[in-house]
Amino acid sequence: MEKSEIARPISTILDGSNYITWANQMKSFLIGRKLWRIVTGDITKLTKQEKEDDSKFIECLEEWDSKNHQIITWLSNTSIPAIHTQFDAFENAKELWNFLSTRFKSVGLTHYYQLHNSLVNLNQDVGQSVNEYLAVLQPIWTQLDQATISKDHLRLIKVLMGLHPEYESVRAALLHRSPLPSLDAAIQEILFEERRLGINLSKHSDAVLASTYSPPGASSTFCKNCKLTGHKFINCPKIECRYCHKPGHILDNCPIKPPRPRNYSTKAKNFTKPSNSSAAAVAPDNSTTPQF
């Protein structure tokens, strides 16, 4: 194995947010090196036994100490400076591993909320390959698979994710609550917050309605859909056609919608209303012709 590979045995560099990925890779490497049991504490620092040869004890002690500090070096070399500068106080690999686990292995409702929120908002970037995109998704899937969260709290996460920004204070309070509230108790708090914000929300609605008002003399190309000028509603780039479901036009202007048949519109039936002159022509002549 090359020196560079020994100095930095895994490719992932711990920055705090990627602890799960880093820990899994480091654990796999240490198991392959038969050093993982030092991290778990199954193999501890030796103590001299009675009648044990001093030279043999020193040799075994140096071997353990060498492996222990090699692990600490690997943990340091695969961490960013802001993290590994905190390692000076640790002389035991197990204690250092436990410190990192406690510091960065996030659990609880807040952590799972952040994971679900990241998963919902994550999209493939421009120029990013599918494998690169999956590499970002996989750690999130792994952490969600390892999550121990009840069905009610999973539903609460869905509720909190969909709330308007006005509810940020109650959302933050519920996410950091200990012990975690039940779903019903959390919803009651959200409903109470809705009543408390009732006046502010109504003012917000008035502001939205006011923003849609187009004053007299405004541009004739003002769009009522997106509230911008430069185009009209019928060709708004943000509107969607109900026929082809493409943006930029309405149903009546759809270029692929079949035209209506000529006789589509309802035509009035032809009724012949008798005229007064016709009625007079067929009316019986009851007049008497005078005789001269």
Across 169-174, average pLDDT: 90
Give me the domain span that covers residue 229.
220-257
Domain membership of residue 264 (yes or no) is: no
Looking at the predicted structure, is the pLDDT value of residue 272 above 90? no
Looking at the predicted structure, is the pLDDT value of residue 183 above 70? yes
Domain membership of residue 39 (yes or no) is: yes
Q: Are residues 201 and 232 in the same domain?
A: no
Any idea which of 123-132, 164-173, 278-287 has the lowest mean pLDDT?
Answer: 278-287
Q: How far is CA 202 from CA 46, 51, 66, 167, 214, in A?
A: 71, 85, 69, 15, 21
Across 42-65, average pLDDT: 83
Contact (Cβ atoms closer than 8 angstroms) between residue 234 and residue 253: yes
Q: Higher confidence at residue 228 or residue 24?
A: 24
Q: What are phi and psi of 214, to 5 degrees?
A: -105, 110
Q: Are residues 53 and 141 in the same domain?
A: no
Residue 73: band (very low, low, confident or very high) from pLDDT cuts 50, 70, 90: very high
Q: Higher confidence at residue 37 or residue 267?
A: 37
Supply the pLDDT for residue 81.
94
Domain membership of residue 281 (yes or no) is: no
- The last residue of one of the domains, among 207, 231, 266, is 207
Domain membership of residue 288 (yes or no) is: no
Domains of the chain: total = 3
Q: Are residues 90 and 157 in the same domain?
A: no
Domain membership of residue 70 (yes or no) is: yes
Domain membership of residue 151 (yes or no) is: yes
Q: Are residues 13 and 96 in the same domain?
A: yes
Supply the pLDDT for residue 1.
46
Dihedral angle over CA of 3, 9, 14, 18, nearest 10: 150
Supply the pLDDT for residue 222.
64
Domain membership of residue 25 (yes or no) is: yes
Structure token digits, residue 273: 């209303």
The rounded distance, in Å, linking the Cα atoms of 142 and 195 is: 39
